[in-house]
Amino acid sequence: MASTYFAELHPAFQRWTDHPQGGYFVAGAVLSLVAIFFGVVKHLTSIPTPKVPILLNDEIGNARKRALEYCFNPRAVMAKGYAKDMQIEYTYFGGPPEYVIHAIKANLTGSLPAFTPLLHGMVKKNMPNVLGLYKDWTPVQVHDRVLRLVARNNARVFQGTAASLDEEWQSASTGYVLACFDCIRALKQWHPWLRPLVYRFIPERAAIKDQWAKGRKRVMASMLERKRKGGNIEDPPTMLDHLSNGRNEHMADDVEMQLLHQMTLIAVGTVTTFSSTTQAIYDLAAHPEYVSILRQEVENVPRDQSGNFNRDSTSAMEKLDSFLKESQRLNSPDLTTFQRAAVADMTLPDGTFVPKGTKLEINTCSIHADKDLYENPQEFDGLRFYKMRQGPGQENKYKYSSVGREDLSWGFGRHACPGRYLSAVNIKLILAELLMNYDIKLCEGAKRPPNIEFEVLCSPDPNYAILLKNRER
């Protein structure tokens, strides 16, 4: 019956559409359907941004209470933002789990007095080969060279001497860091719906897989060395040792878990260190008036019997410490801090409702440029924090590795970076050795390079060259 009805209707419909007014109607109907289609698509693909007050400025007027309220919220409720920003399901570039953080705080930080002279010896040995030797002023791109210096030091701390000498591991670890950021940028060019498909075809993701394959070989070799020795790889113990002993003994023979640990440590332990070191070198070249001041301090700090710096040495580098903190204030690796997303609906004590999926973050750069906190905040003052530490009771407040509501570069509260003490030691050792062995300045007519900003990430220009020349000593 339906077919008969359509057969009767079709000729009439055909005659009607042939009429001029009927044609206009059909054209209008088609355009309406197209408009509706695109409207539905736009609605479905749009990502709503709930209007939730970041940092609750109006609801909680006291700045300290706002910071504490945010920082000390349960980690499980506000943990998703970092993973989303770093595209962790595709890059594996994530933060360490709680037991790794515990090992860093309880074991690694306490080993830094033993590690410091050892790491300085490595910097002294590696810098001439990695950074180069120059009789005359020579333009040098230091970005990747600094990364190699940091990676070698971290390899000793994380896996042992054999790893620090393994060129394939160095290639894998430094390559992984660079490939992750390339992959993050590439994936974020695509709509989230398409990323599960696109990631399989982009070369940046293939590079990450290649680095992990190389890393697996090195980790297996380190695990075999540890088993052969019947205990720690060497002294002071590595992070691989700490993550295979005591409460972590059940993971001692788990290659994939130990590989994940090592690549995660590279991700969190190398990026900030080499980025901040490079930024400080750019600032040193842009402000040569600090070279002699810092060099004199470095040359006069105490050393151990082997002529290497120890923890007393790095602690005595107060002016260099201030210079590094000022460089980081103006060039924080993250434009925002505490990138988190609520994984469940939550209501704060003041009644503010935060819907599931809401992303919250703190505008770090605005705090670091606040004229109420810093005099002439847009100007670079390498001794700013050194002078601030001269006040009564301020000796420890403004250290490079210290955290506070006025400086969120390392985070705040229990979310503060647990590896910042190792990072500070590495950066000071590299800058101190650079000051003692090289003269440094900008290329003729050049200015300090602007940072490369992508979403909330802030990186030094990898292609920028400064002038270096070995000192006559």
- Integer CA distances (angstroms), 393 to 372, 385, 389, 397, in order: 21, 14, 8, 8
Among 106-120, 267-281, 349-363, 431-445, where is mean pLDDT lowest? 349-363
Kindly state which CATH superfamily the domain 60-470 is placed in.
Answer: Cytochrome P450 (1.10.630.10)
Mean pLDDT of 38-65: 44
Among 136-140, 241-245, 318-322, 368-372, where is mean pLDDT lowest? 368-372
Per DSSP, the three-state class of 453 is strand
* pLDDT of 297 higher than 80: yes
Q: Which pTM value belongs to this model?
A: 0.78
Write out pLDDT tens, residues 75-103: 443 444 444 555 555 555 556 778 888 99
* pLDDT of 151 higher than 90: yes
Sign for the CA dihedral angle at 97, 169, 276, 427 comes to: positive
Q: Regarding predicted confidence, which is higher, 342 or 375? A: 375
- pLDDT bin (cut points 50, 70, 90) of residue 110 is very high
* CB crowding 343-374: b at 16 or more within 10 Å, else e: eeebeeeeeeebeebbbbbbebbebbeeeeeb
| Whole-angstrom distance, CA of residue 102 vs CA of residue 1 | 76
- Give the DSSP letter of residue 105: I
* pLDDT of 253 higher than 70: yes
Write out pLDDT tens, residues 301-346: 999 999 999 999 999 999 999 999 999 999 988 777 777 777 788 8
Is there a contact between 211 and 172 (Cβ–Cβ < 8 Å)? yes
* pLDDT of 68 higher than 60: no
Sign for the CA dihedral angle at 257, 269, 167, 121 comes to: negative
Sign for the CA dihedral angle at 224, 225, 229, 231 comes to: negative
Write out pLDDT tens, residues 355-370: 888 877 878 888 888 8
Mean pLDDT of 122-140: 97
Residue ranges per structural domain of the chain: 60-470
Residue-level pLDDT at 120? 98
443 is annotated as contributing to ligand binding: no
| Whole-angstrom distance, CA of residue 127 vs CA of residue 433 | 8
